[in-house]
Chain A
Amino acid sequence: MQNRSNDFIPAAQVAIHDADLQRAVSFGTNAGYTRRRAAMFAAGEAHGQALRRQAAAIRRNCLNRLPELLAEAEANMTANGIRVLWAIDAEEANRQVVEIARRHDARAVVKSKSMVTEEIGLNHALEAAGCVVLETDLGEYIVQLGGETPSHIVVPIVHKTRESIRDLLIDRLSMPPTDDAEEMARFVRETLRRDFLAADMGVSGGNFIIAETGSLCLVSNEGNARLVTSLPRVHVALVGIEKVVATVEDYATLTQVLPRSATGQAMTVYTHLINGPRRANEPDGPEHVYVILVDNGRSGIYATTYAEALACIRCGACLNGCPVYQVTGGHAYGWVYPGPIGAVVTPLLTGLENASPLPYASTLCGMCKEVCPVDIDLPRMLLDLRADLVAMGRSEAVWTVGMKAWAGGVGSPATYQLGGRMAALAGKVVIGSLPGPLKGWTVYRTPPRFAKKPFRRLWAERQSRREERDEQP
């Protein structure tokens, strides 16, 4: 997918003035935040925090052992009858899926929700090869109908109101007019059911791979992931290399922490373990199962101090909690992964120079770390990315000038005092906005008011009053 992250600021400005988006995103993120808290801490704060520590340790321990676990997972998946492929980048992954489609003469492709396929632009590659690709998650289906991209990792159309979804379904599919969400969902169910039954190939992502059993694990609520992985004769799963976990115990924790953090459910409606193609004695299920282990920049992240970002289980909790995401929605971030995790992984996966505003798309309030089920230190990484931008010479001139002025100002007591007095003076003159390059600060903010008397003078006066008192008998 094309990266437009460098347009973050103008895109965010458009989003901020979109009343429908504001209503939808604010409602959606609030609901997500509240439901997560209720589910995660259902048995009290201490128990919930213990589960977070457990999940955090599991993910980091598995990343420590990543090369060994990938080899073990490959061996066990192969023993289960799964064909395992490795893709170093998007181009190779797309080519492999197209080759599989050709080998099995598959034209009609149904997909369940997968962020990694968004990342590599799989739909375009399959369409270019003559396949018809249908997204089947309700949200993703609406995204595809509208020619949009998902704006949230878990709720792809969190930015859309019920009314706009209704209009799209009426316009594109001649849905009988209705304002009722249930009727809209039923209409899509019936439309897509025909496509499911006619599909040759199903494409899914993967939430986890268990190394010791060679199982591909998925979670879904709608049931589309079950249809995609059960009905067509071929199933292809694309999974990031970081998703492998060591044991079924690791899996049991993570597959239950994930829905608690994502939607506030103790368990998703369907929690799947796929151990290969249909066995000879089984009556249904796909005849061929492929797992493509996708790198696409992940091994590069693994080698850096940003390796922690690979612990992410894609629950979307940091999006719901983020005061920036709450007002901009996901599209402003310009690529596949929005919100705080997107602000970290987009520069890492696509190049910092292609996403330079994103490390600044944060108030550093720390909410993203606090809500993260695996305790990823996102604020630390956002700061480190800012430092990287400075080191690259990519920070904006106004910052460089400003920071130099600040450094000069605080460098000696004399200049510090002078600066304070100047600021107080300026505060008397400037009312609405700051002049010159400082104007950017005051477009959305009131300029700070400085005290009439600086603290230093107050302190000096207090001391002299005290001395006067002490001198009295």
Chain B
Amino acid sequence: MSSRERILERLRQRERPFPEVAAPAVYRPMVEIADTSPAALRARFIGEAQKAACAVHEVASPEAAIDLILALVGREATLSAWDPAQIPLPGLASALELANVTLVGQDAGARVGLTGVDAALAATGSLVLMSGPGRYRAASLLPTVHIAVVAAGQIMADLESWLAAQKVTAPDLMRRFSNVVVVTGPSRTADIAMQLVMGMHGPRELHVVLLPSVEGP
């Protein structure tokens, strides 16, 4: 008998250990958000992301976003980035080219990484990043500075609602890709005498570039 059969056999021999317990009838969200209007979610996302030690930049236009990104990249010759087509900023690719910034995928030498996001979560100030074509995991992981571009329409209430949306849009939507990471602030550790140190193995700075809502300011 294989180990698989032996383990399952042993478990099946036992009656359910907690016959009085069923799954919760209703799942309460971790954070109750009373006002889920786009403006309220946006305000909450900004506040929570800042609490998680992100630098949040609200920009007035896509052009302003590109200027800000170029300023953050500074004099770096290379940028570890997602394919610009995966980032909701028209004109980004040509602006980077004009500034003589070479886009690389996984490059251990790049100081700055640039990505879009799949969603931003208001309850916890988190960013959801899925792997996929043109989407390097390394861009949000290896550099010391990570810049994430967030469109206003990408802000959702919380992890619960993002996961639920994956089920509704198409069965198993999130399984199409190998990796989903929910990022909440820059990497950190408190292992040395409980003292908080930012930038352990991942980025030390996380800049969120938040685009204006399409409906106007």
Contact = CB atoms under 8 A, between A and B. Distances in A.
A271 B160 CA distance: 13
Contacts of A230: 137-138, 141, 179
Contacts of B2: 86
Interface stretch (B57-65, B88-96, B188-196, B208-216): B188-196
In terms of DSSP, what is the predominant structure of the interface of chain B?
A: loop
B75 interface: no
Contact of B3 (A92, A161, A182, A222): A92
B10 A302 contact: yes
A51 interface: yes
B31 interface: yes
B200 A224 contact: yes
A136 B184 contact: no
A466 interface: no
Interface in B1-34: 2-4, 6-8, 10-14, 16-19, 21-24, 27-28, 30-32
Given A43-B31, A197-B108, A223 B179 contact: no
Given A139-B191, A267-B124, A285 B131 contact: yes
B200 A138 contact: yes
Candidate in B13, B141, B172, B201 with the most chain A CB atoms within 10 angstroms: B201
Given A138-B189, A165-B192, A181-B193, A273 B201 contact: no
A181 B197 CA distance: 7
A39 to B, nearest CB: 10
Contact of B189 (A63, A162, A221, A273): A221
B133 A185 contact: no
Contact of A299 (B7, B172, B202): B7
B200 A267 contact: no
Contacts of B174: 213, 215, 273, 275
A138 B126 CA distance: 24
Given A283-B106, A285-B131, A61 B193 contact: no
Contact of A222 (B14, B181, B184, B201): B201
Nearest to B186: A269
Nearest to A61: B23
B192 A223 contact: no
A192 interface: yes
Interface stretch (A4-12, A251-259, A363-371, A446-454): A251-259
B137 A285 contact: yes
Interface string A133-165: 000111100100000000000011110111001
A267 B126 contact: yes
Contacts of B16: 64-65
A222 B21 contact: no
Candidate in A66, A241, A284 with the most chain B CB atoms within 10 angstroms: A284
Interface string A247-288: 011111101110010010111111111111111011111000
A281 B23 CA distance: 38
Nearest to A273: B180
Interface in A347-404: none
Interface stretch (A23-31, A408-416, A437-445): A23-31
Interface string B154-182: 00000110011011000010111111111
Interface residues of A, number: 103
A289 B179 CA distance: 12
A27 B8 contact: no
Contact of B18 (A64, A251, A299): A64
A268 B17 CA distance: 31
Given A57-B24, A184-B192, A88 B177 contact: no
Interface in A37-93: 43, 47, 50-51, 54, 57-58, 60-61, 63-67, 70-71, 80-81, 86-88, 92
B183 A185 contact: no
B175 A54 contact: no
A456 interface: no
A89 to B, nearest CB: 8
A137 B201 CA distance: 9
Nearest to A31: B194
A54 B187 contact: no
B84 interface: no
A88 B159 contact: no
Interface of A: 24, 27-28, 31, 43, 47, 50-51, 54, 57-58, 60-61, 63-67, 70-71, 80-81, 86-88, 92, 136-139, 142, 155-158, 160-162, 165, 181-182, 184-186, 189, 192-193, 196-197, 213-215, 221-224, 226-227, 229-231, 241, 246, 248-253, 255-257, 260, 263, 265-279, 281-285, 289, 293, 295, 299-300, 302-303, 307-308
18 contacts: A51-B30, A61-B23, A162-B193, A185-B189, A186-B199, A189-B200, A192-B201, A196-B201, A213-B174, A230-B141, A248-B166, A252-B160, A256-B124, A266-B31, A274-B178, A282-B178, A295-B3, A299-B10
Interface of B: 2-4, 6-8, 10-14, 16-19, 21-24, 27-28, 30-32, 48, 52, 105-106, 108, 123-124, 126, 131-138, 141, 159-160, 163-164, 166-167, 172, 174-195, 197, 199-203
Going nearest first, the 6 A-B pairs with the smallest beta carbon separation are A223-B202, A307-B17, A222-B200, A139-B191, A223-B187, A223-B201
Given A86-B2, A155-B191, A271-B159, 12 more contacts: A27-B194, A64-B18, A64-B19, A138-B189, A158-B194, A186-B199, A193-B108, A224-B201, A252-B159, A270-B181, A275-B177, A302-B11
